[in-house]
Amino acid sequence: MSIPCPYCQHPFPPGAQSCPGCGASLLLEAIPGGTQPVCAVHPTLRGLGTCSRCGTFACARCLRAGPQGETLCVRCHQLEPDAPLPWDQREELGLWRAFWKTFVQVLLQPGTFAQARAEGRTSDSLLFALLCSLPACFMTGLTYMLIFVGLPSLMEAFPDSSQPTGDGSGAVFMRWTGVGMFVATVLLGPPLSVLMTLLGTGVDHLVLRAGGVTRPFSVTLRAHSLSEAAWALGIVPFIGTQVAPFWALVSRFFAYRGLHRTTTGTALAGALIAPLATCCLCGGGYMALMLAIFGLAAQK
């Protein structure tokens, strides 16, 4: 939010001590006994703006810009939490150490979102989401390959005498299907996961905006991406992918409430509405795909 210069009316941003238009100093001495407002911190200086949070007058030396562009006084600005997460310190920690520290913090200490830095680059958020998807995609693809490759061998080891013996093409089809699913899951799973992150964030952001949240989309994307740390648990066979969605939802609630500084009800709505809607759609499509694959194998 810009404030007009008292000399030329040219807008200047909070924190400036000289006008960018006319170059005049904005540190104006207050007139004793005058009607003009004075700074709450420096009573000898004239107040040029009011804090949008506490309503006090502030001089040019005390005006600050808040995370949403609002005008704050220096006291309220210092109260704004801005603790960096390990993911924000990759240059000092290194990529994988920063990822591991953030992974542990998000899963075991979600309350730290209340003091965490809200803003972050879109590319950083998407990179974190991509890395979180790699273990789950690899283990999911490997599990499918083992099932589709091992099932024909199991059927051959314990044949059913009541069923006619085929030419073996069905077993070959299932084995190659398993290999194909592994390759497809490993190569296509991570970028599709990032795409789903963007789509899910978009829906969540609409819900949060309806609940009164005013911070930008980048904050929602950062919160959503960080909450996907739980998907790295997908490296644990079978159990990991079952636990990860629920753990991610819990982390997402804390992330939305902490980074958006919003209420518990709004954060819950933002975290739950989109997953509940997509669960019904994706679950039906997944079952249809599995039934189609087994149906084709049975016809061979």
Q: Are 276 and 259 in contact, with CB atoms under 8 Å apart?
A: no
% the chain with pLDDT above 70: 89
Find, among 57, 67, 61, the residue nearest to 120 by Cα. Answer: 67
71 DSSP 8-state letter: E
- 156-178 confidence digits (pLDDT tens): 655 555 555 545 566 777 778 88
What average pLDDT is seen over the chain?
85
188 DSSP 8-state letter: H
Size of the chain in residues: 300
What backbone phi and psi angles, to 5 degrees, belong to 64?
Answer: -140, 160
Find, among 32, 33, 81, 76, the residue nearest to 57 by Cα. Answer: 76
Average pLDDT over residues 189-204: 93
- 4-50 confidence digits (pLDDT tens): 888 898 888 888 889 988 999 999 898 887 888 999 999 999 998 88
Q: Is the pLDDT of residue 286 over 90?
A: no
Residue 180: predicted pLDDT: 87
Find, among 82, 183, 90, 81, the residue nearest to 128 by Cα. Answer: 90
Q: Whole-model pTM above 0.75?
A: no
Cβ burial, residue 2 (10 Å; 0-12/13-18/19+): middle
What backbone phi and psi angles, to 5 degrees, belong to 151?
Answer: -65, -45
Residue 153: predicted pLDDT: 67
Residue 146: predicted pLDDT: 84
- 96-147 confidence digits (pLDDT tens): 999 999 999 999 999 889 888 888 889 999 999 999 999 999 998 888 888 8
Residue 104: predicted pLDDT: 95
Q: How confident is the model at residue 80 (pLDDT cuts 50, 70, 90)?
A: low
Q: Centre a 10 Å sphere on the Cβ of residue 278 and count the other Cβ atoms it contains.
A: 14
Q: Are 1 and 71 in contact, with CB atoms under 8 Å apart?
A: yes
Average pLDDT over residues 261-267: 89
Q: Is the pLDDT of residue 88 over 70?
A: yes
Instruction: Pull the structure tokens for residue 222.
Output: 């950062």
